[in-house]
Structure 1
């Protein structure tokens, strides 16, 4: 069985309170109530002030491999915001931003659309401007 990671966050600020890592093998999925009983960071909070996002197994694998850490949840979209280390200055704090994997996917889609537009324009020019 493969269970994706879970992030509990403050519903007022989006700040991460507790991360529950992904698990695989002979594991059982825990309930939110069990997590509140297990983790001190959650036990000391009122449940109605805590939100939770469940991820697919390995959903952000490449982001974690790049050193990314989920530090906040975007309260409007429910998407995780990551901070990534700067190899030239690892101590410098960075503003949380969407996952690099999500940004790369969006740029790939945009690039494909632009390439199609360029091909269409090139064909129009090659045909003497007749559409």
Structure 2
């Protein structure tokens, strides 16, 4: 059996209290109540002030590796955020959405941009055809008017 990690955090701040980590093999899934009994760091807390995010096995594996496990939970969105910066940041760490979520957002944005570019390209081709038609019409008009004005033909 494979069991994903559980992330327990302070609801008010988003600070992670406990990351149970992933487990595989002869393991048994536990309930929130069992975890509060089993883990001292949880049993010392008021249960209502502690949030929980349960992950699928392997979920965000790349993000945990790249961030070296430096995570927090955004108190407003209740979603995991990762810090990918240096081990000893000079400034306050800036946590970000998981890389896989950022990639998904960028892919969606790129797709929208490509669709807009395709629309613009079609409009440009249409305008170019209209310009060519207008140029031909002007040339025909010029050739009709030129003899009437006594000018020489091309």
TM range, normalised to the smaller chain? Answer: 0.7 to 0.9
Please state how far the C-alpha of 1:50 moved relative to its aligned partner. Answer: 0.8
Q: Secondary structure at the match of 1:128?
A: helix
1:63 aligned to 2:63?
yes
Report which of the two structures shows the higher radius of gyration computed on alpha carbons.
2
1:121 is matched with 120
1:42 is matched with 42
1:95 and 1:128 map into 2 onto residues whose CA distance is 47
Whether the 8 Å contact between 2:67 and 2:82 is mirrored in structure 1 is: no
2:147 is matched with none
With over 3 angstroms needed to count, the CA separation of the structure-2 counterparts of 1:14 and 1:125, relative to structure 1, is same
1:15 and 1:64 map into 2 onto residues whose CA distance is 16
Q: Which structure shows the bigger proportion of residues in strand conformation?
A: 1
Whether the 8 Å contact between 2:74 and 2:80 is mirrored in structure 1 is: yes
2:49 and 2:25 map into 1 onto residues whose CA distance is 32
Name structure 1 gaps, 5 residues minimum.
none
1:49 and 1:65 map into 2 onto residues whose CA distance is 28
Normalised TM-score (structure 1) = 0.86
Whether the 8 Å contact between 1:68 and 1:82 is mirrored in structure 2 is: no
Name which structure has the greater RCO, CA cutoff 8 Å, separation 6+: 1
Q: Secondary structure at the match of 2:123?
A: helix
1:17 is matched with 17
2:72 is matched with 72
With over 3 angstroms needed to count, the CA separation of the structure-2 counterparts of 1:70 and 1:91, relative to structure 1, is closer
Q: Which structure shows the bigger proportion of residues in helix conformation?
A: 2
Normalised TM-score (structure 2) = 0.74
Name structure 2 gaps, 5 residues minimum.
130-154
1:56 and 1:77 map into 2 onto residues whose CA distance is 19
2:18 and 2:128 map into 1 onto residues whose CA distance is 60
1:91 is matched with 88
Please state how far the C-alpha of 1:68 moved relative to its aligned partner. Answer: 4.5
**Would you identify which runs of 4 or more consecutive aligned residues in structure 1 move more than 6 Å?**
none
Residues matched between the structures, number: 127
